[in-house]
Amino acid sequence: MRRLGVIAVAKRAGFSLDEARILLEATDGGDPAHEPLRALAERKLPEIEALIDRAEQVKRWLEVAQDCGCETLDVCGLFDEHVSARSNAANGQFGHVHLATRRDAPVGRS
Ligand SMILES: [Zn+2]
């Protein structure tokens, strides 16, 4: 049986070594492979989806941050936890007051 290959692929799918072992032991014991595999996949999918959500939030934050023109972090909407938490939930955007201002009025009005 291709144990090493199974472990490598399982690892790439985000399974721990213990979880890969569960797969191997189940099939070693003669049980159908799909049962532990489905159970693990079902448990793993929400974790990965949450990870993608977090990564997308970080990506949006960084996209806004690379255009930040704030003089100090105190005035920067990116570091306003209330604003970003609220607007994240609302529309997936980070509040960034200075960015919005800059879009309307070109340089000079700060
Ligand atoms: Zn800023």
pLDDT in tens, 7-21: 999 999 989 999 999
Report the distance separating Cα 77 and Cα 83, nearest Å: 7
Residue 30, Ramachandran bin (φ over 0: left; ψ between -120 and 50: alpha; else beta): left
- Distance from Cα 100 to the centre of ligand 1, integer Å: 10
* pLDDT tens readout for residues 43-100: 999 999 999 999 999 999 999 999 999 999 988 989 887 655 545 444 445 556 654 4
Distance 84 CA to ligand 1 centre (A): 12
Could you tell me the distance, in angstroms and rounded to a whole number, from the CA of residue 109 to the centre of ligand 1? Answer: 15
User: Which residue type is seen at 25?
Assistant: E
pTM score = 0.60
Give the distance (Å) from ligand 1 centre to CA of residue 67: 8
